[in-house]
Structure 1
Amino acid sequence: MQSTESESNNMQLNMLEKRVVVVDDQRSFQVLIKAMLQNLGFSKITLLSSAEESRKRFQKEQFDIYLIDYNLGHGENGRQLMDYLKQQRLLPVDSIIFIISGDNSRSMVLSALESEPDDYMMKPFSQEQLRLRLLRALIRKQQLLPMFVAFQSDNKQQVLVECKKIIDQNSRYASYCRCIMAEILLEQDRAQEAKKILEEGLAVRESAWLRLFLGRATQQLGDHDAAILHLHSALHLRPLMVDAYRWLAYSQMATGADEEAIATLERAVTISPQSARLHQQIAEHCLHAHDYFRAKQSLGTLLDLHRYAVDENPQILGSYVHCMILHAINSQDTFHIGNLQKQVNMALSRCRDSLINHEFDFQTFEQICQARVQMARGNLPKGKQQLYKTTQDMLDTPQQMSSEILSETILAMMQLGEFEFADQLQKFLPPEQAKDPLLTQCIQSIRTDAVITERRNQYQLSNEQGIKAFTQGDLELALRHFRDAQRKAPANTSATLNKTQVLLALCQQQRTRKDLLNELTDTLNLMDGVSLNPAQKARYEQLKKESETLLKPQKR
């Protein structure tokens, strides 16, 4: 669908009626670009100086053309502002958005392009360059408008229909539409259909983007060797294609080449060091490989990149603290364990102001993190007490907990050894949070962590042996096993309740055994002030009632 000269002229006339907003913190550039726009015939021009000011304005008013500088001084940068506009759906469907920057470094350009603006312009540029780029973007948006309208209404089937129309017309945007179709089909697990559409496009002409999506399609079909070949072809055509590196790493990871996958991502980071997606993926892969040190480094960088993105910071911060803790535990180095408190405090301090100012329950989040530090330093009773004290008003209704607090509580429970309770809480995670790849890898890492797994397996074995012995009536053997289970997981409530139950049974048989009576009292005291789930609470109350009846004569 090639635009004719007449279409171009009509678009240029319509362009002059567009409302333009310029977001730039430099007054001199505002004056310059306003003059350019006025010379081109634009009359509806708004100038804004910061992301904060722009957010407030954009919630009340929409524009047709957004020209946003990447570097906006203090606070959010232009890319983060653009991401916010897209996430909140504040952009009119027929609008265009440009990122503008005076930094022409490769890393800056790739970082800006990662969020997919309609175009990217480097300062300085001429008035004619601005006119041509605006015209090109507006023509593209107009010709693809039915597809974008369907996208905005989340009508994926209609998007596929509109894309097919454009492909059938042999439009210059045919390859782009094939990629859009492939993206949707892959989301719907229709990889074979996506593969066919992409191969048809490649039969017409070679394309790095078609190769990229073909690599993703074959990856979803389970043919990772073929996916690796397609993704290498995409990188041969376009060596700076960061997305190709990302998907290549997924296939390498799937074939068991963990180190190769991480090396691929680290090569990509040298190309685009400000790519948030890359740093998050490195963290995910390193967590999968239990390389907590490198995961911690990537998450630290990610925190800096998302410094003002408060919606994402809690999960990133929680994952960062998680990696610090697991790195310290696995190092079994007194220096790392001793230095953990200072590191966690510094991490929390980095984000405190921005999170508190945006109504996030930072105090609860911080207390859970501090409880996890106590556990990592070997003080499980104190860590458990602090965790339950912090969350005691929430654990009875976990469905009402914020997803960030709930996810951090789950990680703390697993670290504590409350494996069963953590599994129950995990069911209350919102669907989007439960599927979050970073949180998924954090939970998986603690489930499969060597130190914690060994402790959990030993606990489970001793606990199961204790239950078996108790069922068979061998109370002395059951007690030995439950004592061992509690040593392996000192803070595990199930282990404590099981031990209480067998002690109670033994004391009822041997009322003169003061050692058993004292141990029963001490074991019950371990659960004083601890919040329990409904089943545990009912069991504890029953055991406590029976124990008080048994112990009462001893107090006279």
Structure 2
Amino acid sequence: MSREERAASIILRGVENTRMPAGLLSKTYLVIDDFPDMRAAIRSIIRSIGATQVDQARDGKEAIDLMQKTRYDIILCDYNLGPGKDGQQILEEARYRQLIGVDTIFVMITAENTRDMVMGAVEHIPDSYLSKPFTKELLQKRLEKLYARKADLQTVNKALMAKNYNAAIAELDRLISTNPKNLSELLKLKAETCITTSRYDDAKEIYDQVLDAREIPWARLGLGKVQFYKTDYPQARETFEQLIAQDPNLILAYDWLAKTQSALKEFTVAEKTLQTAVKLSPRGLKRQQLLGDLALGNGDSEQAEIAYEHAVTLAKNSVLNHPALFAGLAKSKSANNKHTEALKVIADIGKKFQGSDEAAFYVASTTALVKHSQGDTEGAQEAMHAAEAAMKDLGARAQDHLFALEMATTYSELDETDKAAALLHQTIANNHDEHECLAQIVQICSKAGIEYDAEKAIREIRQHVVKTNNAGVRLIKQGDFDAAITLLREAAEEMPANKTINLNVAKAIIMKMEQAGATSEDILAVRHYVERVQGLAPGDWRVADILLRLRQLAPKASGE
């Protein structure tokens, strides 16, 4: 009898005597396991408690297909599913595509040493783990505990899925006022929602309240995030260092410490922080990519190649797979004088991302860098022209800072420093409040030796944007909506890919309509600015808030 068969037989013992709370009986269940006997054993337990809506999937593809059709309340997923996606990648994709929400119970099941698995799951953490073989009693107790923790979150989840964060926070406040058993869960969720919506003072108040009662890592980590977003980088660094001293295995603290060190322009120190983190948790895709980016920017090409190799391997079955990972690997190999290998990696981009405009851009820009490193000036120039053409094909997406920084790096490496500086200046204007993007710009200038004072430009552009916004707000308060809209529109034309500026124009027009009534012209103007932002950041929560207000003003004309 195999290990899986023995585990299944243990789980099946005494199934007929299992009983669970009535609330769990009406839930929809999905069991994901590549062994038929194990799927059948878990399904039998669930059915024995009276639940009738139990589906099964044998691999990641089937699981995702089922989740697209059905909203499951409880998912029991084996970690090791053979070829294809593993359990962590299923959870990652389900959260990324919003196939599950905060009210969904996701339990990861494993038959192996779980250290690397658990340490690598910090970006998308399951609600619980179960080690095979487990008994029916253990499964029952675990589900009961998780059910109590996730109680009454359906309304909150519905609001979060719709990005109606005001409604989500209002519902969380209502639940918190009843002082329920899952108070800690609700406070944590409210604080995270406040951070998402840039309500940093509200989030800080929650974290301080929790920490006044007891030292809890998630609250201390959240406080560090608030300090980071409020640009209090020295204090944030101290907070994350304190967390690591208390618990050297708290991987998220390393990630945030590295972000903070980068924001402080301590790029070499940030790289060392992530080197420590990947030793503890080698399966974090985003972490490996960030380490590769930092190492390459620091001229540490050997470390960069190692990190990108890991990232590309981890991304094979991940929804987060992206041409930029392969481009990074190719650039690091070329920096290590492995030009032939680098060109093979570039060829893989076209094969793995066929028909993708983004892939075409990364193929051309990376080829230009490799050809330049080989001394092939003509080939490098030809590839650079192809990259410029590919960027035009991207349309509005070309304004995304990822493409802009990639192209600026290509320009700088090929000694087109004026073009690089102009592109970096425009990128700062479009992303004046994106801390990580601005840190990357400073690192690019430092490495390439571009005669462009990025830090000065960042300060001046930020001052300009803040001054414009403040002037617009003053005009709105005075009731001079037309003057406010004219001012903000001029700024939006000056910085067409600045999400904050475009949304501020839309908000000003919305406020005017709320006072004076909706017109077709104003509705079209709002949609114009909203569509600009959606093209750059489809998931930006501020878009949902504006569209909600637009629907309230003119439900038919809004097109929603």
TM range (shorter): 0.5 to 0.7
Aligned mate of 2:56, from 47, 50, 68: 47
1:394 deviation in Å?
6.1
Q: Which residue of 2 aligns with 1:345?
A: 343
Higher deviation after alignment, 285-294 or 26-35: 285-294
Is 2:373 the partner of 1:373?
no
Is 2:246 the partner of 1:249?
no
Classify 1:229/1:367 alpha carbon distance in 2 versus 1 (closer, same or farther; 3 Å). Answer: closer
CA distance in 2 between partners of 1:225 and 1:435 (Å)? 18
SS of 1:171's partner is: coil
Aligned mate of 1:170, from 179, 190, 201: 179
Q: Which residue of 1 aligns with 2:414?
A: 416
Q: Is the 8 A contact 1:167 1:177 kept in 2?
A: yes
**Deviations 1:477-518, CA, capped at 9 Å, x for gaps:** xxxxxxxxxxxxxxxxxxxxxxxxxxxxxxxxxxxxxxxxxx
Structure 1: state its 5+ residue gaps.
1-8, 329-335, 458-556
**Deviations 1:454-496, CA, capped at 9 Å, x for gaps:** 8x99xxxxxxxxxxxxxxxxxxxxxxxxxxxxxxxxxxxxxxx
CA distance in 1 between partners of 2:331 and 2:438 (Å)? 12
Q: Is the 8 A contact 1:101 1:122 kept in 2?
A: yes
1:248 deviation in Å?
2.7
**Deviations 1:509-539, CA, capped at 9 Å, x for gaps:** xxxxxxxxxxxxxxxxxxxxxxxxxxxxxxx
Query: What letter is aligned with 1:105?
Result: T
SS of 1:143's partner is: coil
CA distance in 2 between partners of 1:19 and 1:287 (Å)? 47
Q: Which residue of 1 aligns with 2:41?
A: 32
Query: What letter is aligned with 2:170?
Result: V
Q: Is the 8 A contact 1:150 1:158 kept in 2?
A: yes
Matches within 5 A, 1:307-322: 307-309=316-318, 311-322=320-331
Matches within 5 A, 1:201-240: 201-235=210-244, 237-240=246-249
Higher deviation after alignment, 247-256 or 436-445: 436-445
Q: Which residue of 2 aligns with 1:83?
A: 92
1:107 deviation in Å?
1.2
CA distance in 1 between partners of 2:272 and 2:206 (Å)? 32
SS of 2:80's partner is: coil
Classify 1:215/1:133 alpha carbon distance in 2 versus 1 (closer, same or farther; 3 Å). Answer: same
CA distance in 1 between partners of 2:372 and 2:446 (Å)? 18
Matches within 5 A, 1:520-535: none
Query: What letter is aligned with 2:220?
Result: R
CA distance in 1 between partners of 2:363 and 2:59 (Å)? 30
**Deviations 1:214-266, CA, capped at 9 Å, x for gaps:** 22223444544443443344345544221122223334445565444333333
Q: Is the 8 A contact 1:68 1:78 kept in 2?
A: yes
1:83 deviation in Å?
1.8
Classify 1:197/1:281 alpha carbon distance in 2 versus 1 (closer, same or farther; 3 Å). Answer: same
Q: Which residue of 2 aligns with 1:447?
A: 445
1:319 deviation in Å?
2.9
Q: Which residue of 2 aligns with 1:22?
A: 31
Q: Is the 8 A contact 2:107 2:128 kept in 1?
A: yes
Query: What letter is aligned with 2:380?
Result: G
SS of 1:98's partner is: strand
Query: What letter is aligned with 1:371?
Result: A
Classify 1:275/1:197 alpha carbon distance in 2 versus 1 (closer, same or farther; 3 Å). Answer: same
1:126 deviation in Å?
1.0
Classify 1:400/1:231 alpha carbon distance in 2 versus 1 (closer, same or farther; 3 Å). Answer: closer
Percent sequence identity is: 24
CA distance in 2 between partners of 1:354 and 1:22 (Å)? 30
Query: What letter is aligned with 1:354?
Result: K
Aligned mate of 2:132, from 123, 142, 160: 123
Q: Is the 8 A contact 1:415 1:446 kept in 2?
A: no
Q: Is the 8 A contact 2:109 2:132 kept in 1?
A: yes
Aligned mate of 1:354, from 352, 355, 371: 352
Is 2:344 the partner of 1:385?
no
Is 2:164 the partner of 1:155?
yes
Q: Is the 8 A contact 2:265 2:439 kept in 1?
A: no
Aligned mate of 1:69, from 78, 90, 105: 78
CA distance in 2 between partners of 1:49 and 1:431 (Å)? 49
CA distance in 1 between partners of 2:152 and 2:423 (Å)? 49
Query: What letter is aligned with 1:300?
Result: E
> Which is higher, the Rg of structure 1 or of structure 2?
1
**Deviations 1:163-184, CA, capped at 9 Å, x for gaps:** 3344444334333333333334
SS of 1:46's partner is: strand
CA distance in 1 between partners of 2:328 and 2:211 (Å)? 41
SS of 2:106's partner is: strand
Number of paired residues?
A: 435
The root-mean-square deviation of aligned C-alpha atoms, in Å, is 3.8
Classify 1:102/1:432 alpha carbon distance in 2 versus 1 (closer, same or farther; 3 Å). Answer: farther
Q: Is the 8 A contact 2:101 2:161 kept in 1?
A: no
CA distance in 1 between partners of 2:282 and 2:428 (Å)? 32
Structure 2: state its 5+ residue gaps.
1-17, 454-560
Classify 1:413/1:212 alpha carbon distance in 2 versus 1 (closer, same or farther; 3 Å). Answer: same
Query: What letter is aligned with 1:115?
Result: H
CA distance in 1 between partners of 2:48 and 2:175 (Å)? 35
1:384 deviation in Å?
0.7
Is 2:286 the partner of 1:277?
yes
SS of 1:371's partner is: helix
Q: Is the 8 A contact 1:207 1:234 kept in 2?
A: no
Q: Is the 8 A contact 1:67 1:100 kept in 2?
A: yes
Q: Is the 8 A contact 2:365 2:383 kept in 1?
A: yes
Aligned mate of 1:135, from 123, 126, 144: 144
Classify 1:176/1:19 alpha carbon distance in 2 versus 1 (closer, same or farther; 3 Å). Answer: closer
Q: Which residue of 2 aligns with 1:266?
A: 275
Q: Is the 8 A contact 1:280 1:438 kept in 2?
A: no
Q: Is the 8 A contact 1:310 1:354 kept in 2?
A: no
CA distance in 1 between partners of 2:32 and 2:436 (Å)? 33
Classify 1:28/1:120 alpha carbon distance in 2 versus 1 (closer, same or farther; 3 Å). Answer: same
Classify 1:74/1:426 alpha carbon distance in 2 versus 1 (closer, same or farther; 3 Å). Answer: farther
CA distance in 1 between partners of 2:231 and 2:438 (Å)? 21
CA distance in 2 between partners of 1:252 and 1:31 (Å)? 50
CA distance in 2 between partners of 1:92 and 1:248 (Å)? 28
CA distance in 2 between partners of 1:251 and 1:361 (Å)? 29
**Deviations 1:438-461, CA, capped at 9 Å, x for gaps:** 8776665443324x538x99xxxx
Q: Which residue of 2 aligns with 1:502?
A: none
Q: Which residue of 1 aligns with 2:525?
A: none
SS of 1:120's partner is: strand
Q: Which residue of 2 aligns with 1:472?
A: none
CA distance in 2 between partners of 1:12 and 1:93 (Å)? 20
Q: Is the 8 A contact 2:331 2:342 kept in 1?
A: no
CA distance in 2 between partners of 1:353 and 1:79 (Å)? 25
Classify 1:233/1:47 alpha carbon distance in 2 versus 1 (closer, same or farther; 3 Å). Answer: same
1:108 deviation in Å?
1.0
CA distance in 1 between partners of 2:166 and 2:293 (Å)? 32
